Amino acid sequence: FHEWLGDSWGVLFSHPADFTPVGTTELGLAARLQEEFAQRNVKVLALSVDGVESHKKWIEDINDTQYAQVNFPILADEDRKGAELYDMIHPNASSTMTVRSLFIIDPAKKIRLIITYPACTGRNFDEVLRGVDSLQLTDYHAVATPGNWKPGGDVVIVPSLQDEEEIKRRFPSGYIAVRPYLRMTQDPRKKT
Ligand code: BEZ
């Protein structure tokens, strides 16, 4: 898995089983967002405890019904090895099937974000992209992203950054200190 990821970021996500309605929409969505993932240097990998032949047949259905081309792998985790390593089976939900776990993994192979949804609730893949955008922005700039942030929106300066000279250098457009600990500034990638 780590070799396959190479220098890319990764989104690894599980669903309860093949040929399930919510999972069909989710994989279709992920497929339609392939270009968005590629632009962010993200490789996508789905997982369920069904086998390869089942995955192959299901992919045909997903492509047909979701107007998508699934062009990322689906791990056939029949022995549940991956599911157990990533704690994707929650015995209160099912002792055999995976729940909707999702991990964003960085190029150093660190898990950076985890979301877990129950079988009844399909995930919001725009939120997954937003998570990737936030992680990639905050890795390179001394900022964090506020609630409901969207790319291009204002960000907060991390509280640990107190040196005014460095703040001026990093954020030439300045900042607004709503409180000493809440300093808003524009996305540092924006041209002023
Ligand atoms: C689904 O993926 O559609 C699903 C799976 C289990 C229960 C309900 C929905």
For 12-60, what is each residue's pLDDT tens digit? 999 999 999 999 999 999 999 999 999 999 999 999 999 999 999 999 9
Q: Which of 70, 81, 120 is nearest to 100 (CA)?
A: 120
Q: Which residues line ligand 1 (CB under 6 A)?
A: 15-16, 20-23, 119-120
Residue 131: is its pLDDT beyond 90?
A: yes
Residue 124: how many CA atoms within 13 Å on its side-chain side?
4
Q: How confident is the model at residue 64 (pLDDT cuts 50, 70, 90)?
A: very high
Q: For ligand 1, what atom is nearest to the CA of residue 21?
A: 3
8-state DSSP, 95: S
18 phi, psi to nearest 5 deg: -70, 160
Q: Which two tokens stand for residue 7?
A: 């220098």
CA–centroid distance, 44 to ligand 1, in Å, is: 21
CA–centroid distance, 119 to ligand 1, in Å, is: 5
Residue in this structure with the two tokens 């789905």, named with its chain if needed: 46
Specify the pTM.
0.94
Q: What is the pLDDT of residue 191?
A: 67
Q: Which of 93, 131, 99 is nearest to 11 (CA)?
A: 131
- pLDDT 10s digits, 158-181: 999 999 999 999 999 999 999 999
The span from the CA of 129 to the CA of 80, in Å, is: 27
CA angle 17, 20, 23 (to 5 degrees): 80
Output the average pLDDT for the chain.
96
Q: How confident is the model at residue 61 (pLDDT cuts 50, 70, 90)?
A: very high
The answer to whether residues 32 and 67 touch, using CB atoms and an 8 Å cutoff, is: yes
**Arithmetic mean of pLDDT, 146-163:** 96
Q: Which of 15, 27, 101, 120 to mutate to test the pocket of ligand 1 (most atoms within 8 A of CB)?
A: 120
Amino acid identity at 145 = T
The answer to whether residues 59 and 30 touch, using CB atoms and an 8 Å cutoff, is: no
Residue in this structure with the two tokens 């985790």, named with its chain if needed: 77
8-state DSSP, 33: T
Q: What is the pLDDT of residue 189?
A: 85
**Arithmetic mean of pLDDT, 91-112:** 94
Q: What is the pLDDT of residue 186?
A: 96
Q: What is the pLDDT of residue 118?
A: 93
